[in-house]
Amino acid sequence: MQFIKSDININFIGKRKIAYVLSGLMILAAVVSLIIHKGPRYGVDFAGGTVIQVQFKKDVEIDQIKVGLTRLDLGQSSVQVFGETDANEYLIRTDRSVMTTEGFSSEIKSALSAATDSEIEIRRIEMVGPQVGKDLREKALFAIFYALLFITVYISGRFELKWMLSGVIAVALIAAVSFLKIFEVSIPFLITAALIVTLVLFWFLELKYAMGAIVALIHDVTITVGIFSIFDKEFTLPIIAALLTIIGYSLNDTIIVFDRIRENFKKYHKQPLTTIINRSVNETLGRTILTSLTTLIVVVVLFLLGGGIIHDFAFALIIGVLVGTYSSIYVASPILLAWQGRAKTT
C-alpha cells in the first residue's frame, strides 16, 4: 500500500520562515510560562515531601479532606482528584518529608475518616527528603545534557566523519561543567551555558548535521517542558524518562531525513541545496508520517487507558512525537541551509 505518492513535492523548505516564527512563538510561550511559574512545578521526586494516595468508599469533597489534614502536622498540603472521578481517589501532597510508619498510616485514616465520614484505604505513601530531591534534579539535568552531547558526537561522526573533533568538544564541555560544579555554580545555569557554547563551537567548526540535530532536540525538549508548565503539570522522574525517549525518537526521525539528504546530494550535487533538502524531506515523508501515527496510537491509548500513574508520562510522549516530527522537517533540515555557500555538504 502506497501511503504517500512517490511524486509528491510539498515545498517544506519554502515555508521554513513561517515555521521559524511558529517555533519561536512556542518557545517564547514556554519560556514565559516557566518564568511566571518560577520554573517547572517539581513533584515530590525533585522537590522533596510526601505523597499520599487515598481512596474513599463514597463521594467526598476536597474541602472535607483538607479539614482532616489540618489535624495532622503535615505542613502545606494540596489535594487533587486522581484517576477517574467516580473512583473517589485523591492525591495528597505535602512539602514536609514525613516518616512513613504504620502509626502514620493509622493517623491519616483516623483523621480523614472523621472529617469525611467515609471508610478510607491508603493506596500508597511516598516520601523524599529535600536533599535527595535536589540530587535527583541535578542528575536529571545531567542525564539530558549528556544525552544531547553524545548524540552530537554520533551525528558528527556518522555524517561528517569528525569523530575526534566532536568527541574532544564533548569531553571538554563535560570536564568544564564537572569542574565548575565543584564551586557550587547553579547546575541549570552551567548546562544552559554549556549548550550555548556547544552551538557556537558547532557553528564555527561547521559541524552542520550535529548542529541541526541538537537545535531540533533542544527545541523539542523546551517546548515539551513549556507545555507542562503551561498546563501546570508536575515534573517528575517519569517525565525525565519521557524527555529522554522523545530525544531518541526525534533523533531517529532526523537521521532518516539526514541520510536521504546525504544520498541525494551525491546524486544531484549540481542542484541547489534547497531543492535537495526539499526532495529528501518529501521522499521520507511517508515513512515519517507512518512512524509518527503508529507511535501516536500507542501513546494515546496509554494516555486514555493507562491510569493516573502514567497519565503525564503518556501526555509528554504525545507532545514529543508531534513536536519531534515537526522539528525533523522544519527545524533540523533547514538549519543545513545556514552553511550554504560556506562549504560543500559532505
β-strands 77-81, 89-94 pairing: antiparallel
| 178/26 Cα distance (integer angstroms) | 32
Look at residues 57, 54, 53, 50 and name the one whose alpha carbon lies nearest to residue 73: 50
- The one-letter amino acid at 303: F
Cell of 61: 469533597
Cell of 344: 560543500
162 and 156 in contact (C-beta within 8 Å)?
yes
Cell of 32: 514565559
What secondary structure letter does DSSP report for 57?
Answer: S
Q: What is the CATH number of domain 49-128?
A: 3.30.70.100
Look at residues 275, 234, 281 and name the one whose alpha carbon lies nearest to residue 257: 281
Regions of the chain with pLDDT less than 50: 1, 344-346
Residue 1 CB-density burial (10 A; 0-12 exposed, 13-18 middle, 19+ buried)? exposed
For the entire predicted model, the pTM comes to 0.83
Q: Where are the domains of the chain?
A: 13-42+132-339, 49-128
pLDDT for residue 5? 67
40 and 47 in contact (C-beta within 8 Å)?
no
Long-range contacts of 195-204 (CB under 8 A, 24+ apart): 195/145, 195/148, 197/173, 198/149, 198/152, 198/169, 198/173, 201/169, 202/152, 203/338
Write phi, then psi, for 126 (nearest 5 degrees).
Answer: -125, 135
Write phi, then psi, for 92 (nearest 5 degrees).
Answer: -110, 125
- Residue found by looking up cell 511517508 in the block: 286
pLDDT for residue 100? 59
96 and 77 in contact (C-beta within 8 Å)?
no
pLDDT for residue 2? 55
pLDDT for residue 140? 86
333 and 15 in contact (C-beta within 8 Å)?
no
Looking at the domain 13-42+132-339, which fold is it? Multidrug efflux transporter AcrB transmembrane fold (1.20.1640)
- The one-letter amino acid at 69: L
Look at residues 103, 104, 114 and name the one whose alpha carbon lies nearest to residue 68: 114
